[in-house]
Structure formats: C-alpha cells, structure tokens
C-alpha cells in the first residue's frame, strides 16, 4: 500500500513509539471511545509497536455495538409490516435482537434495503410513493445531524412516506455514565475525532476533572501514536486536561451549525445502551413538530428490552472491563457468522476487531 | 429486436420462443463449430493428457459494473479456476437462469460480452441451457459455467505445495473488483473511479511457468481476497506466511475508497489477479514474466513462506507494526460513519 502519506510514515511512527516507550514507566490503560480507533490500532498492528506496559482498551464507541436488543426488535418489527421498506446501513443487518436480526427478517420476506446515507433513504421514499420507507437512524453526533437534515429535506419535499427509527446516541452522557460507574482503572481517554468535529472539546472536561487525561485524536497511525504520547505527557506532568491532536479536523467549539440542525429536529431522551443499560438523556427522538417523521410514533412501536443472552459479556467488554476472549461465548457460540452480541457484528466492534486482527500471541 | 422486449416465461418453455431466443441471442454471440451442431450434447475429440474441470455460478448485483458485467465474469471466473491448476482452458458450458421481465437487450449485452470474453480466452462455449423463472423467483440473471482444460504432463500445482523459504507474488493491484461492485450497488452515489479487474489469466500463468518452471501454485484471490486465499494456502501447505504491507500493490482509488467505506482491501474480491508461490531462487524470473505481461505490470513480491507457526499469516504493517491475518468471515460491509 503505497501511501505517500505523512500520517503513515514508518520512520515517524518508530520515533513516536520510542518516545512513548521512554515515557511509559508504569503500566497505563487508555480507553479508545471510538470503534474506528479500535479498528485502526488493530489493523496497523500498533500494539506491537507499543511497550507492553501500555494498554489500549476499547469502550462503547461503536454505535452498532451499543444499539440495544429491544431497538433491533423494533427494526425487525418494522420490516415485518406490509408496505414498509426498512432502509439501513449494512452493519445493522446481522445484529441480533431478541427476535432475530434484520437479515433474518429479510429472508422471511421483509423488505430491507441497504443504503449508504440518510439522503439515499429519502431518495428511496421519493422513488417509491406507494411504500413507506423507514430509515434506521444510527450513530453518534457524527451522523445525527445528517439524519436531521434528511428529515428536513423530506419535509421540504412534502414526503409523507418517509420516517426515521431514531437509534442515535449521544457520546457525553455515556462518558458521564462510564465515569459514574464502577472504577474502570483507566488513566485516560483517546477521544473520538469524528464525534468531536461536531461536539468539540468541552464535553470531555468532566473526565479531565476526575484526573483522566483526554486527547481528541485522528485515525491514522501517526495520529494515534502522537495521541498516546500526548496522553503520557499529561500524566507525566500530572496535569490531565483535554487536548486536541486532531487539529486538522476538530475545533475546540466543534461544529455549532451541525449541532443546531440536530437540535432543531431532535431532543434528548433517555435511551437503552446494549450492555450498559438505560442512560439518562443519551438518545435522540424527533421533536413534537416532527412527530410525523418518527417511525416509533408513526407505527406505534413499543420498546421492551429482552434479557441479555446468557453468558454474553458485551457489557463488560464495552466498559473495557473484559477482553473479548474472556467471554465464554467468544469464537464458540459467538462468531462473526453468527454473532450473539453486537460487538461481534460491526467491523468496529471490539470482539470482531479482536477476531480479525488479534495481536501476536 | 424491439427496444423494450423482455424475457417471458415462454422463452424457457422449449417451444418456438425458446428456439428464437437461442438463435437471436445465444447462437449469435457464442457461435462455433461444436455449438452449431445443435445437439443435446457436444461431442469433442479427446484432447490427450489430463483434464482439468471446474464449475462456478455467478450472481452479481448489479449485472453491469465499471470494467465488466456478469457475462465476462462468468467466463473469466471459470477459465481462471482451470488456469490456476496449470490447465489450458478449452471449452465452457453455460447455463442461464433468467427472471421473467429481464430486458432482452440486457441479456444480449451479457451474452455478447461472454462471446468476446470466450474468444479472448481462447475457449469455445460448447453446450448451454436456459431456464426462465417467474418474476421474483430469481434476481434478473444467474449464470453457471463449467470449464474444461488440459494439463501438460508433469505439471503439478496445488495449494499444499508451498514450502518454507518460497516467495509469495501477486500479479497486480488488489481489491479493484470488490470495491467497484460495492460502489456500484444501489444507493452509493459516489464516483470512486475504480474499475473491476476481471480478465482471463491462463496466458499469464503460461508465461510465468515458462520463466519459473518450479512454481508451486497459483491461486486467484476471488471472494475473501488475498488474506483468505493465503490463509488457506498456509494451512494446506503447513507453512506460515509473512507479508510486507508496503509491498502489496493497491491502486490509489481503491485505497481511498476503502478508507471511506471502512473496508480492508486485503479481504476484497479480485477477478483478474493471481497469487503465485515460487521457490525463492526463481522469484525474480517469475516477477519479470508477470511484469512483461499486459495483466501483470504491477506485479510484486509481497512476502515469503516461513516454517515457524504453520498455518498463520503475518502482516508486517506499513508503519512497522505486525499483526495476524485471518480468513474473511461474513461479507465485507461498509461501516456506518
Ligand atoms: S467513526 Fe463514528 S461510528 Fe465509527 S466508531 Fe467513531 S463514532 Fe463510532
Ligand atoms: S464474544 Fe459475543 S457475546 Fe461475548 S462479549 Fe463479544 S459479542 Fe458479546
């Protein structure tokens, strides 16, 4: 792969790794909040460049992983309705709920279509006036504004056959819940670059106040190593704070326009997180003036959470408290072909990343 | 043929409509002396030597994509399977399952493309079959092809023949086909300027064998991509593989699309590339032979077989890290954001 890319320069990576090794004098644990970081660390084999005393654990940063089983059941129920087409990102197809997955719903005759953006789903609704298109809105603050924009567009087009099943989640309340939960034994967070382009630096302040180093970090190998070095420096200086490594994309105040679109259409509601339970004000729902675009309301779907499958350690894995192979189901009952928990489904999920790219053992 | 003519159930009923379809579409583009006999089965002179036989079915969405279509793919896929064992492909059979309502013009485009691909690959389509199923019972058009080739005496190639110390080569950039299909699927309104690499590989194999008679095996890394194919070879041969990421050729547009979609090019399908494992001392000759061929100008030596920890495939990453490659599991799917 001939990337003449400064963010993949092997000499620079080696230098950074040496600086990290020098500064890492005691065992430290950093959590990457974002699944793209989990994946990048695994894919580039970065663990093999880092000293054994430095450990990265993955957190609840992949929206597929944290979508609750009850929410999947809602989507599956939608796919079973006559005249309804469910439009979804591909990752969601195989996530198991209590009543199976969307892929299974499709094999039973449900009309489930893979789209690549919320706008594609609006186009689909426009192209099929005789059907009702329900889009599964998923993702953190990175994607929620585009779903909001899709609703505004459907409204402007006067479409009455487009709606959104809103599974979007907000990152800051989850971070707060992690911090308020059992002690995670962490020294810092590698904060998600994409989400931060929208929310900015302020939401991580709560972690810094509790003595955890925070660096908002990009996704290339040099970014991640530089981010790790910045985290270690903060610890070394005894001055945990929020820093931005990914300055080429992230501004401290984030993107107020994207937040404004998101807030125009959605309001925060309590939401269930797979493995983490209900978190106050951590989800989004359409505001009353957009109720006609809210699939849960339009189709009268209730949310009931089935019990977690027995033996599943997703909740622990999502908090960085267990490594995927510690789950009794890992690689046995739970594989990427037939996942039990969502962490095995998304390519950014901790268990799938571990499976595909496990480190040298 | 009228512009908006479509496939009807009649076309598969064996009567006049079937006959007309055969003449107007299939015979027109696939004609040769054997097929012209119009008998229930083809009679062929025994070519001598050992036969190599392979079959594969093709279902691809969309039917037409940048760089190719299901028709040439159905030819290339099967002749390449024959070629990977060292066989010279001679004959193909083709079975079609058509969905009622398929535009006749689309069918003709596909069959014409098969005709060209067969001529280019030097094979004759010697038997065929058409079935029509009702609307909704198939997705537009499925094709099954079987290929027959001959294998020169003394030539033994196979997945279990890699030995520690051998070099691993690829004939060109990886992931072109997989990323193109992904991009061409419904909804992705992106112009990624990637093209499928679908192509017949028997000539390339012959050139490499002439320069590197000790070649251990060839493999076309189709579904599952390079990583899955090498893992299978490593397991079958009882060796480990060590690859250098920086040496693996990936086209810029493919690398960019993979970044965008969250895909790993090492797991994407290829339809016109091959892996060759060759003894280290013949590796340069094999490389030169590939580079001298139109389909191998970006060939590279990407790694080696090693004795330790048989069955594993290691990747030395471009940034100096190291990790294991596993087989593809599930379908590669683009990520959410
Ligand atoms: S890029 Fe978006 S979807 Fe992917 S892990 Fe980060 S926040 Fe989650
Ligand atoms: S192995 Fe499966 S069940 Fe266990 S934690 Fe991972 S995803 Fe959940």
- Cα B326 to middle of ligand 1, angstroms: 23
Q: Domain count for chain A, please give it.
A: 2
Give the one of B318, B324, B334 whose C-beta lies nearest to A358's C-beta. Answer: B324
User: Which protein residue's CA is at the shortest distance from atom 8 of ligand 1?
Assistant: A62
> What is the residue-level pLDDT of chain B in tens, covering all 337 positions?
556 789 998 898 888 888 889 888 998 999 888 888 878 888 888 888 899 999 999 999 899 999 999 999 999 999 999 999 999 999 999 999 999 999 999 999 999 999 999 999 999 999 999 999 999 899 999 999 999 999 999 999 999 999 999 999 999 999 999 999 888 875 455 667 889 999 999 999 999 999 999 999 999 999 999 999 999 999 999 999 999 999 999 999 998 888 777 788 999 999 999 999 999 999 999 999 999 999 999 999 999 999 999 999 999 999 999 988 888 766 666 554 4
CATH assignment of the domain containing A160 = 3.40.50.11740
Q: Where in chain B is the domain with CATH 3.30.1330.10?
A: 6-151
Q: If 0-12 CB within 10 Å is exposed, 13-18 middle and 19+ buried, where does residue B22 land?
A: middle
- A90–B334 CB contact, under 8 Å: yes
Contacts of A356 in chain B (CB under 8 A): 326, 329
A343 pocket-lining for ligand 2 (C-beta < 6 Å): yes
Task: Say which CATH class B166-325 falls into.
Answer: alpha beta
Mark whether A270 and A347 lie in a shared domain: no
- B262–A348 CB contact, under 8 Å: yes
Complex-level ipTM: 0.74
Please tell me which residue of chain B has the smallest CA distance to A338.
B330
CA distance B93 to B114: 11
Mark whether A323 and A250 lie in a shared domain: no
Please name the residues in contact with A123: beta carbons below 8 A apart, sequence gap of 6 or more. Answer: none
- Cα A308 to middle of ligand 2, angstroms: 11
Proximal ligand: closest to the CA of A63: 1
CA distance A98 to A310: 12
Please name the residues in contact with A248: beta carbons below 8 A apart, sequence gap of 6 or more. Answer: A218
Q: Where in chain B is the domain with CATH 3.90.650.10?
A: 166-325
Q: Is the domain covering B6-151 a CATH 1.10.8.60 domain?
A: no
Mark whether A142 and A218 lie in a shared domain: yes
Sequence-ordered strand ranges (E) for B107-239: 124-133, 141-151, 167-170, 217-219
Question: Which atom belonging to ligand 2 lies closest to the Cα atom of A316?
Answer: 5
SS3 A347: coil
- B117-163, pLDDT tens digit by residue? 999 999 999 999 999 999 989 999 999 999 999 999 999 999 999 99
- Distance (Å) from the C-alpha of residue B252 to the closest C-alpha of chain A? 8
- Cα A190 to middle of ligand 1, angstroms: 13
Tell me, yes or no, if B185 comes closer than 8 A to chain A by beta carbon: yes
- A9-57, pLDDT tens digit by residue? 999 999 999 999 999 989 999 999 888 898 889 889 898 999 999 999 8
Domain that holds residue A284: 1-312
Mark whether A59 and A163 lie in a shared domain: yes
| C-alpha distances in Å from residue B260, one per residue of A136, A219, A329, B298 | 20, 12, 32, 24
- A99-112, pLDDT tens digit by residue? 889 988 998 889 99
Please tell me which residue of chain A has the smallest CA distance to B246.
A1
CA distance A214 to A225: 14
CB B186 within 8 A of CB B175: no
- Cα A30 to middle of ligand 2, angstroms: 21
Sequence-ordered strand ranges (E) for B206-330: 217-219, 240-244, 275-278, 300-306, 313-316, 322-325
């Amino acid at each position: 792969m001939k990337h003449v890319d400064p963010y993949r320069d092997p000499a620079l990576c080696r230098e950074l790794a040496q600086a990290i090794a020098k500064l890492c004098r005691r065992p430290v644990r950093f959590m990457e909040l974002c699944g793209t970081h989990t994946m990048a660390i695994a894919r580039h084999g970065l663990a093999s460049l880092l000293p054994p005393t430095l450990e990265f654990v993955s957190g609840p940063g992949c929206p597929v992983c944290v979508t609750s089983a009850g929410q999947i059941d809602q989507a599956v129920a939608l796919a079973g309705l006559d005249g309804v087409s469910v439009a979804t990102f591909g990752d969601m197809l195989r996530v198991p709920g209590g009543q199976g997955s969307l892929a299974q719903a499709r094999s039973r005759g449900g009309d489930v279509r893979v789209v690549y953006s919320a706008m594609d789903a609006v186009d689909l609704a426009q192209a099929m006036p005789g059907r009702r298109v329900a889009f599964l809105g998923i993702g953190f603050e990175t994607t929620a504004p585009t779903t909001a924009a899709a609703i505004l567009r459907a409204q402007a087009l006067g479409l009455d056959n487009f709606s959104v099943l809103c599974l979007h989640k907000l990152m800051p309340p989850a971070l707060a819940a992690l911090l308020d939960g059992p002690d995670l034994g962490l020294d810092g967070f590698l904060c998600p670059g994409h989400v931060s382009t929208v929310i900015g630096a302020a939401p991580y302040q709560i972690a810094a106040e509790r003595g955890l180093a925070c660096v908002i970090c990009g996704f290339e190998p040099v970014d991640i190593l530089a981010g790790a070095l910045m985290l270690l420096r903060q610890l070394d200086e005894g001055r945990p704070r929020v820093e931005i490594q990914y300055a080429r994309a992230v501004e401290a105040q984030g993107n107020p326009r994207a937040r404004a679109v998101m807030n125009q259409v959605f309001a925060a509601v309590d939401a269930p997180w797979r493995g983490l339970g209900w978190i106050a004000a951590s989800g989004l729902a359409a505001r009353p003036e957009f109720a006609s675009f809210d699939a849960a309301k339009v189709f009268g779907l209730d949310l009931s959470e089935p019990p977690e499958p027995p033996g599943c350690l997703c909740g622990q894995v999502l908090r960085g408290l267990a490594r995927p192979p510690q789950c009794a189901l890992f690689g046995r009952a739970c594989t990427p072909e037939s996942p039990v928990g969502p962490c095995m489904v998304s390519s950014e999920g901790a268990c799938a990343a571990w499976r595909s790219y496990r480190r040298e053992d | 043929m009228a512009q908006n003519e479509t496939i009807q159930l009649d076309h598969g009923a064996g009567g006049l409509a079937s006959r007309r379809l055969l003449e107007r579409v299939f015979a027109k583009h696939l004609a040769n002396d054997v097929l012209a006999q119009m008998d229930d089965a083809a009679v062929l002179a025994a070519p001598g030597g050992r036969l190599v036989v392979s079959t594969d079915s093709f279902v691809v969405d969309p039917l037409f994509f940048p760089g190719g279509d299901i028709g040439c793919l159905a030819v290339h896929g099967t002749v390449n399977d024959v070629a990977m064992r060292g066989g010279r492909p001679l004959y193909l059979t083709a079975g079609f399952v058509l969905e009622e309502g398929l535009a006749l013009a689309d069918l003709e485009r596909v069959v014409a493309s098969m005709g060209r691909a067969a001529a280019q690959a030097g094979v004759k389509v010697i038997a065929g079959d058409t079935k029509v199923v009702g609307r909704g019972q198939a997705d537009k058009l499925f094709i099954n092809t079987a290929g027959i080739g001959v294998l020169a005496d003394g030539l033994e190639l196979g997945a279990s023949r890699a030995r520690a110390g051998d070099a691993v080569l690829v004939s060109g950039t990886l992931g072109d086909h997989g990323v193109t299909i992904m991009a061409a699927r419904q909804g992705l309104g992106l112009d990624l300027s990637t093209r499928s690499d679908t192509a017949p590989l028997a000539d390339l194999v012959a050139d490499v064998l002439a320069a590197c008679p000790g070649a251990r095996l060839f493999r076309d890394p189709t579904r599952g991509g390079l990583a899955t194919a090498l893992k299978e070879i490593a397991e079958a041969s009882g060796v480990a593989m060590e690859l250098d990421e920086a040496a693996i050729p990936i086209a810029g547009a493919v690398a960019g699309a993979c970044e965008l979609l969250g895909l790993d090019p090492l797991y994407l399908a290829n339809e016109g590339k091959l892996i060759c494992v060759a003894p280290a001392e013949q590796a340069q000759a094999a490389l030169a032979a590939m580079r001298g061929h139109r389909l191998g100008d970006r060939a590279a030596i990407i790694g080696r077989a090693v004795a330790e920890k048989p069955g594993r495939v290691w990747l030395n990453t471009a940034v100096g890290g190291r990790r294991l490659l596993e087989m593809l599991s599930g379908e590669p799917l683009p990520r959410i954001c």
